[in-house]
Homo-oligomer: A and B are copies of this chain.
C-alpha cells in the first residue's frame, strides 16, 4: 500500500478492478480464483496483493463498489429526470434493457453473498445504493406532483418509491433465476400505472400500455 501511488499504479489498480468485474460477471464469484483475475488483467500475484493488501475480500469489495456505481449510471439520464410520463416510460425501458443485457448474473448480489453479511463494508455499499436509488425515484414522484400530473395528497411518496424499488429488485432477482423478464416488466408497469391512477383522469388506470 503505497503512500503516494503513481499514475501507473492507479491505472493498474483500475485495470484490476475492471478486469475482475468482467471475470466475476462471466464465471460467478464462487468459481473465480485470483489466478483467473490475474490472467485476465495481465498482472502478477504480487500486484494483486500490492493494491489490495487484505487480499481477495478487499478486491471483491472494490469490485462491488465499482458495480454499484454502474447501476445508477446505467439508468441515467432518465433516472434523474422523471418529471413527465414520457420520461418515466423511458426510464422503465432503460431498466429493462439494462438488465436484459446483463443477463443472468447478479454481480452485486453474488459479491455480497461471498464477502459475507458479517463484514460491514458490503452492507454499506448496498444500503447506500438503495438509498440513492429510492431517493431519485421519490424525487421523480415529487416532480410529477410539482407538474400537476399527480395530486400531492393521497400518496405517501417515500412508501411508493420504496415499493417501486422493491418491485424492480424483485423483478431483477426473478429474472436472474428464471431468465424471464416478465416480472420485472410487470413490476415497473404496475408501479407506474399506480401513479397514473392517482392522477385525475381515471381512464388511465387500465391495463393498456401507456403510449405518449
Contact = CB atoms under 8 A, between A and B. Distances in A.
Interface of A: 28-31, 104-106, 109-110, 112-114, 116-117, 123, 126-127, 130, 154-156, 159-160, 162-163, 165-174, 176-179, 182-184, 186-187, 189-191, 194, 197, 205-207
A178 B171 CA distance: 18
Contact of A168 (B114, B162, B170): B170
Secondary structure at the A interface, as helix, strand, loop or mixed, is helix
Contacts of A168: 166, 170
Given A186-B159, A186-B162, A31 B178 contact: no
15 contacts: A28-B113, A28-B116, A105-B117, A109-B109, A126-B177, A162-B186, A162-B187, A163-B183, A165-B174, A166-B166, A166-B168, A166-B174, A169-B174, A170-B170, A194-B194
Nearest to A115: B30
A178 B117 CA distance: 9
A153 to B, nearest CB: 9
A113 B29 contact: yes
